[in-house]
Amino acid sequence: MSVDIVGRMLSTLPEDDDHPYRTGPWRPQTNEWSADDLEVVEGEVPTDLDGVYLRNTENPLHPSVKNYHPFDGDGMVHVVGFRDGKTFYRNRFVRTDGLLAESEAGASLWAGISENPALARRDDGWGARGRMKDASSTDVVVHRGTALTSFYQCGDLYRVDPYSADTRGKEDWGGRFPFEWGVSAHPKVDDRTGELLFFNYGKEAPYLHYGVVDENNALVHYVDVPLPGPRLPHDMAFTENYAILNDFPLFWDAAALERGVHVPRFHRDVPSRFAVIPRRGSSEAIRWFEASPTYVLHFTNAYEDGHEIVLDGFFQGDPEPADNGMGDKWQRAFRFLALDRMQSRLHRWRLDLVTGAMKEEQLSDRVTEFGMINGAHLGRNYRYAWAATGKPSWFLFDGLVRHDLLTGAEEHLSFGDGVYGSETAMAPRVGSSGEDDGYLITLTTDMVENASYCLVLDASRITDGPVCKLKLPERISSGTHSTWAAGAELRRWHNAESAAAAIGL
């Protein structure tokens, strides 16, 4: 294995830090690595695995102004690449405007999610809108061969090289990027059409927008989705012909918001609502469907079944838990992070486009979240979802479940005591012939061995354990969202020489 530290960022975090989400599995990193021919500690690297796994996560460098929340940290992208049995690893901070400004100042400049915006030491850029730094630390997708990182409170999309993880500036869609509103995390890429679908939201009417970027990277559609007031949508879904947005009854307390205080409340007497809009449809074409009150952090997929839209996601039985079960001074601070407290379970809604009726059902008794599917089936009928289980009371993934949505069967793999994974991406094998014919890839933070690994699993037999286990240069911080980009697709957009050089061929 060839390993080099190519960068190290200055951190001013205290050495005796006791914050639960800046220590232990969430201990942040400062090193940026380039490593080739990763050490194989178990199994063999599959020769029919071709592409890159990318993971984004929060990685703070400076103490918060007052109260740190794990969603406040700076974005860091990790890349593990595979081709012809060879591997490489890169990790880089996303060079956002906020990171560069705070690196120059040597301190946090913006208030975080658990802080009053008035505490911000700067009030320009995104801070002027009364929220927080755009850390671009939530999600990562790949569109037209470029990785795009995004922030759940809306912001810029940062362009990242999917091989090197280097930041290549901001996306602007030919000057038509909605700079005033930004783009939320979880834009969706339809590989069949080459389109990117997105939404954004804010505290001013109409409160929500929906847009489409075409295969030529042009913003070709952007419309209002009027809501009754400010909401907190986190994800969306799409089918072959429609996009599905939402209005859930977990949103800021109106009276507190008038005082400039952002306190989320679950309004148990208000229904959930889904907005169905043709993918290039007008605001007037939106149809609304009502469902049981809940909050959905993430959807797995949606598809059309006759005159119905089938929508799958993780229904929360208690979107506003009283506590997180940690039993200490952090009792209420992170109650929105524990999957067991929120009781998130895979759920299905059926939206009848002819009658306007809504039917819903729980698909699993098991608490899971952060579901991933074979990307070729996004917006289409599908059978399998792979989702994370959570350590009780914590925002940590301690295992993986394979949901068979046809039979209801489930397979569970535990990562083991003290080992925590990332969102697990599905990578179809080269020449795959079935929906689950491929591999699952995740990164682990192993507190027992004080190390991190990339695990490659057989997507159809997860309980067999790793097909391959690769050691990373150092123990990485626990993290969340990821994606898989197939090598053949990346090589469409990158010249053959640069693509081969990235993998060491």
Strands (E), 230-357: 237-238, 242-247, 250-252, 264-266, 272-278, 287-291, 296-305, 308-316, 344-352
Specify the pLDDT at position 113: 85
Residue found by looking up tokens 């009030």 in the block: 123
Q: What are phi and psi of 128, to 5 degrees?
A: -65, -20
How far apart (Å, rounded) are the C-alpha atoms in residues 61 and 14?
Answer: 10
User: H or E segment at 500?
Assistant: helix 496-503
Q: Over 67-119, what HEC string results?
A: CCCHHHCEEEEEEEEEECCEEEEEEEECCCHHHHHHHHHCCCCCCCCCCCHHH
Q: Using alpha carbons only, how large is the chain's radius of gyration in Å?
A: 21
Specify the pLDDT at position 119: 82
Three-state SS at 60: coil
Buried b (16+ CB within 10 A) or exposed e, 489-503: bbbeebeeeebeebb
Nearest to 111, CA basis, from 94, 93, 129: 129
The mean of the pLDDT values for the chain is: 94
**Backbone conformation region of residue 454, classed left if phi is above 0, alpha if psi is from -120 to 50, else beta:** beta
Three-state SS at 451: strand
Q: What are phi and psi of 71, to 5 degrees?
A: -80, 0
The single-letter code of the amino acid at 104 is E
User: Which spans in 245-349 are helix H?
Assistant: 254-258, 339-342
Under DSSP, the state recorded for 286 is -
Dihedral sign for Cα atoms in the order 313, 314, 316, 321: negative
Specify the pLDDT at position 41: 98
pLDDT tens readout for residues 340-357: 999 999 999 999 999 999
Over 90: is that where the pLDDT of 126 sits? no
Among 132-136, 139-143, 181-185, 494-498, which is the least confidently predicted range? 494-498
How far apart (Å, rounded) are the C-alpha atoms in residues 246 and 210?
Answer: 11
Task: For residue 334, give both structure tokens.
Answer: 């992170």
Long-range contacts of 198-206 (CB under 8 A, 24+ apart): 198/236, 199/225, 199/233, 199/236, 199/245, 200/154, 201/154, 201/230, 201/231, 201/232, 201/233, 202/129, 202/154, 202/230, 203/130, 203/230, 203/257
Asked if omega into 60 is within 30° of 0 (cis), the reply is no
Q: What are phi and psi of 27, to 5 degrees?
A: -60, 125
Do the Cβ atoms of 11 and 29 come closer than 8 Å? no
Specify the pLDDT at position 257: 86
pLDDT tens readout for residues 61-115: 999 988 899 999 999 999 999 999 999 999 999 999 999 999 999 999 998 888 8
Three-state SS at 174: helix
Q: Over 384-438, what HEC string results?
A: EEEEEEECCCCCCEEEEEEEECCCCCEEEEECCCCEEECCCEEEECCCCCCCCCE
User: H or E segment at 148?
Assistant: strand 146-150
Over 70: is that where the pLDDT of 503 sits? no
Strand order in the sheet with 31-36: 2-8, 31-36, 86-93, 74-83, 51-59, 482-486
Confidence of residue 501 (pLDDT cuts 50, 70, 90): low
How far apart (Å, rounded) are the C-alpha atoms in residues 365 and 303?
Answer: 23
| Whole-prediction pTM | 0.96
The single-letter code of the amino acid at 157 is L
The single-letter code of the amino acid at 263 is V
How far apart (Å, rounded) are the C-alpha atoms in residues 134 and 378?
Answer: 28
Nearest to 225, CA basis, from 266, 186, 274: 274
Query: What percent of the chain shows pLDDT beyond 90?
Result: 86
Specify the pLDDT at position 497: 55
pLDDT tens readout for residues 273-324: 999 999 999 999 999 999 999 999 999 999 999 999 999 999 999 999 987 6
In terms of Cβ atoms closer than 10 Å to its own Cβ (0-12, 13-18, 19+), residue 343 is: middle
Residues 3-25, mean pLDDT to the nearest whole number: 95
The residue length of the chain stands at 505
Over 80: is that where the pLDDT of 330 sits? no
Specify the pLDDT at position 262: 83
In terms of Cβ atoms closer than 10 Å to its own Cβ (0-12, 13-18, 19+), residue 305 is: exposed
Confidence of residue 327 (pLDDT cuts 50, 70, 90): low
Confidence of residue 458 (pLDDT cuts 50, 70, 90): very high
Find the Cα–Cα–Cα–Cα dihedral 221, 224, 230, 231, rounded to 10°.
Answer: -50
The single-letter code of the amino acid at 182 is G
Confidence of residue 127 (pLDDT cuts 50, 70, 90): very low
pLDDT tens readout for residues 405-454: 999 999 999 999 999 999 999 999 999 999 999 999 999 999 999 999 99
Specify the pLDDT at position 500: 57
Do the Cβ atoms of 455 and 55 come closer than 8 Å? no
